[in-house]
Amino acid sequence: MYEIKCPHCGQAFTVDETACASVVAQIRDAEFNRAVQARLVAETAKHETDKKLIENQTKMASQETINELNQQIQQLKSTIAQSEQAKTIAINAVMDKNKDALNDKDKRIMELQSQLASIDKDNQLKQQELKNKYDILLKDKDDEIARQRDLRSKMSTKMVGETLEQHCEIEFNRLRHTGFQSAYFEKDNEVVNGSKGDYIFRDYDNGTEYISIMFEMKNESDETATKHKNEDFFKELDKDRRAKNCEYAVLVSTLESENELYNSGIVDVSHKYPKMYVIRPQCFIAMITLLRNAALNSVQYRHQIAEYQQTHIDVSNFEAEMNDFKDKFGKNYRIASEKFHKAIEEIDKTIDHLQKTKDALLGSENNLRLANNKAQDLTIKRLTRGNKTMADAFARVATAPTDEAERASDE
């Protein structure tokens, strides 16, 4: 599209390529005709003027003046011819430029048309793909509805719950050998505190349990007089989960069949009871797979934590043994130190006692020496000094016969 502005009123308006080309052609032809007519009129007027001038000058002037006029006429004609040639060149340049612009525009239009065609084709393919997916989902939904209706038509009021349990068990056993080779999935037959669940699922990694689920299956036919809600069974299910040390609790239910929340898929009710979910029977395998895969991702971290805990326990035991050794060694050191100091004290006491004994012995020796000295100095004269009786007795002994003296000596 081209924008054209009116030179008189100043109003702008747009025209397409074809209209623009037509306008250019009209302007070109009109301008050209107008210029030609103007030039012819001017030439005619000029010629007439010149003719009259020439006639007058011919009459009045000489032949030289006539020649100069003819020369001027030729110059004017040459100027007109050059002007016409320049105008033609300018018009051709404008036409060529417009032609190139029109060619570029056509190419761009063709490119855009090609892109639009490609986009339309892609959209058609996507629409067909979406339609096929929708048809498949619709067929699956119809099949599920038909299956559920068939299931309900075959149920009796007494067999409702048991039939749902059998359905889940069959679905699990179909995949046990391919997807759950190390898993445990059996009925919960152990009554704890007067209650038990329906089924327990456990899976193991190298003998270590890493996932456990307590299942409760609830169903009722359309003819059941008393209608229950899923929430009626949450408390008992949570109690069974805790009693059997299961990590998760899942209620497989067909109750509240018109409830859009429960019909939308897996419903997390952990805001009421921890790690509890409500599902429809068709989500049974998907629920197990989802929880198991999530738990598998944490097995490695559990092993690392267990190794860390074991290492921490070993370090703690080592530290405890070392501290115990330090305590015992310290106790023994204190006892030995106390006994050593006591022995030193006893030795000091013994040394002091021995020193006293030594001093006593030394004192006794001195006394004995003095006594010996005194004994050595002892004589009969000193013994009888001042004792007349003893002096007389010694005198008699001294004067007695020798045999009596010897006999007295023997006695």
Q: What is the pLDDT of residues 160-211, one digit of tens each?
A: 445 888 889 999 999 988 888 889 999 988 888 777 888 999 999 888 888 9
Mean pLDDT of 369-377: 67
Angle in degrees, CA 362, 364, 366, rounded to 5: 70
pLDDT greater at residue 394 or residue 173? 173
Question: Would you place residue 265 in the very low, low, confident or very high pLDDT band (cuts 50, 70, 90)?
Answer: confident
Q: Are 219 and 160 in contact (CB under 8 A)?
A: yes
Q: Taking the CB of residue 218, how many other CB atoms lie within 10 A of it?
A: 20
Mean pLDDT of 67-73: 74
Report pLDDT for 11: 67
Exposure b/e, 32-59, CB count within 10 A at least 16 = b: eeeeeeeeeeeeeebeeebeeebeeeee
Report pLDDT for 245: 92
Tokens of 88: 């033609």
Which range of 99-113, 158-172, 229-243 scores highest in mean pLDDT? It is: 229-243
**SS3 state of residue 213:** strand
How many distinct helices (H) and strands (E) make up the chain? 9, 8
pLDDT greater at residue 290 or residue 138? 290
Q: Alpha-carbon distance 55 to 66, whole Å?
A: 9
- The burial of 191, by beta-carbon neighbours within 10 Å (0-12 exposed, 13-18 middle, 19 or more buried), is given as exposed
Consecutive H or E run containing 17: helix 17-60
Angle in degrees, CA 138, 144, 145, rounded to 5: 90
Q: Alpha-carbon distance 123 to 203, whole Å?
A: 47
Q: Which of 118, 171, 195 is nearest to 286 (CA)?
A: 171
Question: Would you place residue 49 in the very low, low, confident or very high pLDDT band (cuts 50, 70, 90)?
Answer: confident
Residue bearing tokens 């075959």: 154
Q: Alpha-carbon distance 43 to 282, whole Å?
A: 101
Report pLDDT for 158: 38
- The burial of 237, by beta-carbon neighbours within 10 Å (0-12 exposed, 13-18 middle, 19 or more buried), is given as buried
